[in-house]
Structure 1
Amino acid sequence: MRIGIDVGGTNTDAVLLGDAGEVLAAVKTATTSDVSGGIVAALAALQGKHAFDPIGVRAVMIGTTHFINALVEARRLAPTAALRLGLPATASLPPMVDWPERLVEAVHGRAYLAHGGHEFDGRKISDLDEDELRRHAADMAAHGVRSLAITSVFSPVSAEFELRAAEVIAAELPEMAISLSHEIGRIGLLERENATVVNAALRELAAGIVDGLTASVLGAGILAPIYLSQNDGTLMDVEHARRYPVSTFASGPTNSMRGAAVLSGVGNCAVIDVGGTTSDVGVLTRGFPREATTEVSVAGIRTNFRMPDVLSIGIGGGSLVTGTADSAAVGPRSVGYRLTEEALVFGGSTLTATDIAVAAGRADIGDASLVAHLDRSLVRAALERIAADVADAVDRMRTSSAPLPVVAVGGGSVLLPDVLAGSGEVLRPENFAVANAIGAAIAQVGGEVDRVFTIEPGRRHEVLDAARAEAVERAVAAGATPNSVEVLEVDEVPLPYLPGGATRIRVKAVGDLQLHGARTGAPEVAGV
């Protein structure tokens, strides 16, 4: 057996899967303010719905909104510094130059420039000055910096200077948490640096959250390894999550899309995940979310780490419904996890989309008599507004005029019509309400290579084969069963105007998680 859990802004969903992947039990509980409490409640609800021996659980997969919420709310972020290696280049645009001021203040952001960096072909911009690094380290200590992001120009090509700078800083400041940009972002200095600084600011929070999640699972008597969902639909172990919390930012919509693919059997489609607060629209390609090919803005910060191409709109089960039948509006404001306290069907005083669904006979929750008085024309207008807004979002995600099947998941998908304008029939597979938790439970393990290669004449196939082999090795090192790994994507983009056959190659490989049974003490490390 394995358990999948997805923590959303409104609900915490959990599923218990059998060894053959069948759904033995599925529950939906309210997310709590401390989030871990919702996980405890979800595990208890699973036990009550389908009694199971905790020792028989072989793995627990969790998707969480902890880290993205902390950044958006600018709370619980560690005092962080950004050290860039690139002088005499790059001085005109210092680290965090494009950050919102409130987030710079939230991380007590300090920026340092030092010599180092490489050109695209591996040539040095300048030599590393270790005495310069030691002076910067002394200043960091004097200003209470607890987490550091190190970024070197073109470090995806050569990580030499980042690794050496980390050694020098660690020798001076042993307690400093250090994040390296070549492990987090892609080509693009400012975006990669931003992603690394965000990761560094979340490191302390990550340690506490991982400990809390582990304690929640252990408290239920489950000794199985714990994994967290990543942005690309694959898994990471808890130790990896401590080091790279930014990898979880989009795990919610990604889990829903992966779950939609498994439940519907459709690998290439648009997925609409209607939750309690938002509706997330994404596109699946071969069962995995289509990744964003451009920079992604997170809380107003430009980044370029792996993120799915998802369009979110403020429509969900907890969305506030305002206006009249002639001008009905739904969202973007939501009651969130307070739905069971504030919605009309639960005795509250706020008209929500859930109340509209119950009044229209599309859902059977709460007390339907409490919404019997609603104007039928208002109910109809609200549903039409939801359908129109979601149809527009799906149309914006299309990249061609070819027909694209639509799969609807999430508890709030009852708000959608059976036929969506411009897309046709809406598929709702069995267990659609907990597709996010199912997506977490069936997630695979991935490995990726994304960097610039110099391809000499006649060696293209040799370089591509080496990149494929490296991606497979990374997937196996992350915990994938060796004979299950397959190469999912190979992107090859020649870089114009640069000599030496410079080509950006990206290879993604995935495989099934290799389960080792229950842990006996500390959380298992899958070798990431």
Structure 2
Amino acid sequence: MNSTVNNTSAADKREAYRIGIDVGGTNTDAALLDSGLRCVHKVKVHTTADVNEGIVEAVRRLLQESGVDAADIRYAMLGTTHCTNAIVERKHLGRVGLIRIGAPATTAVPPLADWDDSLRAAVGPHSYIAAGGYEYDGRMIAKPDAVEITALCRRMAGEVDAVAVCGVFAPVNRAQEKLAGDIVREVLGPDMPVTFSSEIGTIGLLERENASVLNAALLQVIAGVVQGFEEALNGFGIDAQLYICQNDGTLMKSEYALRYPILTIACGPTNSIRGAAHLSGLSDALVVDIGGTTTDIGVLVQGFPRQSSAAVELGGIRTNFRMPDILSIGLGGGTIVRVDGAGSVTVGPDSVGYGLTKRGRIFGGDTLTTTDVAVKLGRAIWPGTDAAVLDEAVCREADEVMQRALEDAIDRMKTSADEVDVILVGGGSILVPEQLAGARRIIRPDHYDAANAIGAALGEVSGESERIYSLDDWKYDDVIQDAKQRAIDEAAAAGANAETVQIVSVEDIPIAYLPGNALLVKVKAAGKL
């Protein structure tokens, strides 16, 4: 009996590792963290046309080079560009049926009115407006007609892969959306995926409708991602809990991601921001992530990325689901430097990307890049290369152009004239000098080149609530408590340990243009796995 107890204790004390993988346009980064969230090993491989091949190669190298037993890996996290690419390229999208619950109030603007022909054709022609909708305070505008919704569903039968349901002011009252969803599954089958707009976007109808349709169109894409990730891990004997990175810097269970794939959009920059916070120990700063092609600048607030307050265009479509506030400029390690006939130096915005080691001047190529400039000015040492072939005057002028671009971008992301801490991450951060105007100090932490993969692996899970309340019907304290509990419940549903969930932020905004003493309340909660 004692032997059994001792064996169990020994097994419980074995190190529990986690893998974080971030798939970018140029490279796929992977990091192995121990139970203390210390980086044990990191690798960088080229992103392939079939991104799963890059993931498999990254996992293979992590295991081989670190010597860690696959059986000791308990968690695996993936940040991916699959969904972004599917929308931008108009490929692999599912056919979507849309039911807007909003007649007669919203018939003046048809569904998908601002979509281009290529994207509208990709998701299909089944978009309808049915009777129903609510006022801002939850009062009914019109009663939905079950017979009408049933008829619309029958028109979609055999023609759609998923259905999106969007009601007027549905985030305030979800009852009509739920009724429509029940009818959809009754007519089209219990396994028909249904996206409810009240779970995706905020108050604006058209933007929320767009986001919901895109989410429904991405369901097949994310299913392939999750399946490919599972197969890649199983191929190495890794039996781990799977999580997918969200664009607010937190994680969601793979099952949750299968319902809300749109929340993976733009998770790459947020992974870098979270990784930068962890590696630097700072919770409030600007994060400058320089890759091979672009520089992404985000704001770290209480350890999480600052969210954008504006409507966001995704593949040319306006949406209003949460997105990080990121500024991107065309400056990276492979950005091309040119000298015109008058001797003026320009930098970018185009890049040689992963062709740097073949096309860069210090590697024997014929293209002057920003990495060449950094090596020439002594900011980086690349063994086996020759910087003597470069014109120092040209390199110094290019460096001034790069520095001005970075300083201008940092100034645009600041909320005041005060200097701020700047955390540099990404392989291209060798381009940055020791000082920049507007920066109090520049921090380049250990493992800065793998901050995105480390951020993916950190493992907090979030939930959000955003609703309009009428203070004629609610007491203020009750409103805040209700919003907090909704955010906590969302975090637990996404995979957080309910006992560890804490409120990260609370924001309440009086809405003067609505009657009834209306208050918009936004709450975010996060907890550990």
Pick the aligned partner of 2:372 from 355, 359, 363. Answer: 355
> Counterpart of 2:165 in structure 1: which amino acid?
I
SS of equivalent residue, structure 1 residue 198: helix
SS of equivalent residue, structure 1 residue 492: strand
**Which residue does the alignment assign to 2:183?**
168
Q: Does 1:178 align with 2:194?
A: yes
Pick the aligned partner of 1:235 from 237, 244, 251. Answer: 251
Instruction: Please list the CA deviations of residues 92-135 of structure 1 after superposition, one character each: whole Å capped at 9, or x if unmatched.
Output: 11111112333223333442111111111111121111222222
Q: Does 1:4 align with 2:29?
A: no
- What aligned pairs does 1:42-81 form with structure 2 within 5 A after superposition? 42-81=58-97
Task: Quote the offset at 1:497 in angstroms.
Answer: 4.0
Instruction: Please list the CA deviations of residues 311-340 of structure 1 after superposition, one character each: whole Å capped at 9, or x if unmatched.
Output: 111111222333359432332223334445
Q: How many residues align?
A: 511
User: Per the alignment, do residues 48 and 366 of structure 1 end up closer, same or farther by CA in structure 2, a change over 3 Å counting?
Assistant: farther
> Counterpart of 2:318 in structure 1: which amino acid?
R
- What aligned pairs does 1:413-432 form with structure 2 within 5 A after superposition? 413-432=429-448
Q: Does 1:335 align with 2:367?
A: no
Q: Does 1:218 align with 2:234?
A: yes
**Farther-moved stretch of structure 1 (482-491 vs 322-331):** 322-331
Q: Indicate the structure whose relative CO is greater, using CA pairs within 8 Å and at least 6 residues apart.
A: 1
Matches of 2:357 and 2:467, distance apart in 1:
48
CA contact (8 A) 2:420 2:441 kept: no
**Farther-moved stretch of structure 1 (399-408 vs 328-337):** 328-337
Matches of 2:293 and 2:117, distance apart in 1:
27
User: Per the alignment, do residues 192 and 257 of structure 1 end up closer, same or farther by CA in structure 2, a change over 3 Å counting?
Assistant: same
Matches of 2:127 and 2:115, distance apart in 1:
12
> Counterpart of 1:459 in structure 2: which amino acid?
K
SS of equivalent residue, structure 2 residue 505: strand
**Which residue does the alignment assign to 1:138?**
154
- What aligned pairs does 1:366-377 form with structure 2 within 5 A after superposition? 367-369=384-386, 372-377=388-393
CA contact (8 A) 2:75 2:242 kept: yes
Task: Quote the offset at 1:53 in angstroms.
Answer: 0.7
Q: Does 1:156 align with 2:171?
A: yes
SS of equivalent residue, structure 1 residue 511: strand
Instruction: Please list the CA deviations of residues 339-363 of structure 1 after superposition, one character each: whole Å capped at 9, or x if unmatched.
Output: 4554445555444333333343333
User: Per the alignment, do residues 334 and 106 of structure 1 end up closer, same or farther by CA in structure 2, a change over 3 Å counting?
Assistant: farther
CA contact (8 A) 1:258 1:443 kept: no
Matches of 2:417 and 2:356, distance apart in 1:
38
**Which residue does the alignment assign to 2:297?**
281
**Farther-moved stretch of structure 1 (502-511 vs 166-175):** 166-175
- What aligned pairs does 1:65-464 form with structure 2 within 5 A after superposition? 65-141=81-157, 144-174=159-189, 176-324=192-340, 326-345=343-362, 348-365=365-382, 367-369=384-386, 372-456=388-472, 459-464=475-480
CA contact (8 A) 1:345 1:366 kept: no
Matches of 2:355 and 2:131, distance apart in 1:
52
Matches of 2:383 and 2:369, distance apart in 1:
13
* TM score, norm. by length of structure 1: 0.92
Matches of 2:149 and 2:439, distance apart in 1:
57
> Counterpart of 1:473 in structure 2: which amino acid?
D
RMSD between superposed Cα atoms in Å = 1.9
**Which residue does the alignment assign to 2:491?**
475
Matches of 1:447 and 1:293, distance apart in 2:
17
Matches of 1:327 and 1:115, distance apart in 2:
63
Matches of 2:118 and 2:292, distance apart in 1:
28
**Which residue does the alignment assign to 1:522?**
none
Matches of 2:233 and 2:383, distance apart in 1:
30
> Counterpart of 2:335 in structure 1: which amino acid?
S
CA contact (8 A) 1:31 1:337 kept: no
Instruction: Please list the CA deviations of residues 385-424 of structure 1 after superposition, one character each: whole Å capped at 9, or x if unmatched.
Output: 2221111111111111222111111111111111112224
> Counterpart of 1:450 in structure 2: which amino acid?
E
Instruction: Please list the CA deviations of residues 124-174 of structure 1 after superposition, one character each: whole Å capped at 9, or x if unmatched.
Output: 1211112222222232236x3322221000010111111111111222222
User: Per the alignment, do residues 227 and 90 of structure 1 end up closer, same or farther by CA in structure 2, a change over 3 Å counting?
Assistant: same
**Farther-moved stretch of structure 1 (70-79 vs 329-338):** 329-338
CA contact (8 A) 1:326 1:381 kept: no
Matches of 2:26 and 2:513, distance apart in 1:
50
Matches of 1:283 and 1:173, distance apart in 2:
44
Instruction: Please list the CA deviations of residues 411-464 of structure 1 after superposition, one character each: whole Å capped at 9, or x if unmatched.
Output: 111111111122243211111111111111113111111111222478211221
CA contact (8 A) 1:3 1:16 kept: yes
Matches of 1:166 and 1:470, distance apart in 2:
21
Matches of 1:24 and 1:217, distance apart in 2:
18
> Counterpart of 1:297 in structure 2: which amino acid?
E
SS of equivalent residue, structure 1 residue 106: helix
> Counterpart of 1:44 in structure 2: which amino acid?
R
User: Per the alignment, do residues 345 and 96 of structure 1 end up closer, same or farther by CA in structure 2, a change over 3 Å counting?
Assistant: farther
Matches of 2:460 and 2:95, distance apart in 1:
34
CA contact (8 A) 2:418 2:438 kept: no
Structure 1: 4+ residue segments shifted above 6 A: none
Task: Quote the offset at 1:470 in angstroms.
Answer: 2.6
